[in-house]
Every structure is written in structure tokens, then in C-alpha cells.
Structure 1
Amino acid sequence: MNQRKQAALHRLARIEGQVRGVIRMIEEDRYCVDILNQTMAIRSALAQVEVLILQDHADDCVEKAIASNDADAQRQKFRELVNIFEKVCR
């Protein structure tokens, strides 16, 4: 498994723990702002996981499509990237 996948799995395990912590905070009626701070941290951590996965996609799938000289595969991978960026920009 490459380093990015390992890093993504490690971050996701930490995020899982953070989510369980937020559940406990809500059950314990903790201060709303503290809960919101934790949910923002989770969102930020998920964004970092997305970056790792996108980098992996670019270095593997997109690179293979470029090297294949298959115009259809290249267009498909390019469209995938554009679609992802459109979602990120919303």
C-alpha cells in the first residue's frame, strides 16, 4: 500500500474517533461551540483525506490514461477531475 493510502487510512481512523467524541459531547450536553469546533475539525480532516485521494487518482489513474494514448480514456479522466473540482467549488 502506498504512503498516501496509509496516510488516508490513518486520518480516517482519527476522524472516526473524533466523530465518536462528538457523539459523546452531544449526549453529555456539552457546550454547543465546543461541539461545533470539533465538527469543523472533522470537516477539515476529511478535506485532507480528499486531497490525498485526489493526488493518488492523479498519479495513478490519470497518469495511466495519459500514457495510454487513448483519447477517450484521457477525456473521461479529465471530465472526472473537472467534475470533482466543480463539486469542491460549490
Structure 2
Amino acid sequence: MVGSEESVELVLNRLRRAHGQLAGVIAMIENGRECKDVVTQLAAVSRALDKAGFKIVASGLRECLTETSEGGKAPMTEAELEKLFLALA
């Protein structure tokens, strides 16, 4: 992943939080909790994943546009970056 160590740690923290929230959703369903509660918690998981994805894209945007990747690929085009952003929408 591109980005500073700090960015990577922020993403990992968000993903860990989402992981815990998703485990909570699973437990809620297994325990027969009300639909409203389950959906509310599921929305929180979705937001946490979105934030992690946006952070990954934002922290690596400069590298994606200007530098070749470790595999020697050309930098991403504007269209490829747009598609990447829209994948999170």
C-alpha cells in the first residue's frame, strides 16, 4: 500500500474497528435483535469501510498519478483514478 506509516496505521485502525463492528452485527443477527438495531450497526460498518477506502485513495493519490508502481506499471490515468473513486461511492 502506498502512503506514510501514519496513513497505513489510520487505515488499519479503521479496518479493525469495522471488523469488530461486523462481528457485532453477526452476533446481533444470531441473537435475533431488532431489524432497526442491526441496520443501524451495519450502516456504521459501511461508513468505517468507506472511510478506510477513501483514506487509502487519498494517501496514495500523488503516487498513483506521478510515480511508476513497484511492478513497473505506468502511473494511473485520470480515468482509472475516477473509476477507483467511484468504486467507493
Give the alignment's TM-score, normalised by structure 2: 0.78
For the pair shown, the structure with the greater C-alpha radius of gyration is: 1
Question: Per-residue displacement from partner, 1:23-81 (whole Å, max 9, x unpaired)?
Answer: 1100100111000000001111111001111012203222325xxxxxxx35x432320
Gaps of 5+ in 1: 66-72
Stretches of structure 2 that go unaligned for 5 or more consecutive residues are: 69-73
Q: Does 1:22 find its partner at 2:39?
A: no
Counterparts of 1:5-84 in structure 2 under 5 Å? 5-64=8-67, 73-74=74-75, 76-84=76-84
Q: Which has the higher contact order (CA 8 A, sep 6+)?
A: 2
Cα 1:86–1:10, aligned 2, differ >3 Å: closer, same or farther? closer
Distance in 1 separating the partners of 2:81 and 2:59? 12
- Identity across aligned pairs (percent)? 31
Q: Following TM superposition, where does structure 1 have runs of at least 4 consecutive aligned residues deviating by more than 4 angstroms?
A: none
Matched positions, count? 82
Q: Which residue of 1 aligns with 2:71?
A: none
Report how far residue 82 of structure 1 moved: 1.9
Normalised by the length of structure 1, the TM-score is 0.77
| Aligned equivalents of 1:88, 1:31: Cα separation in 2 | 28
2:20 counterpart letter in structure 1? G
RMSD over equivalenced CA pairs, Å: 2.1
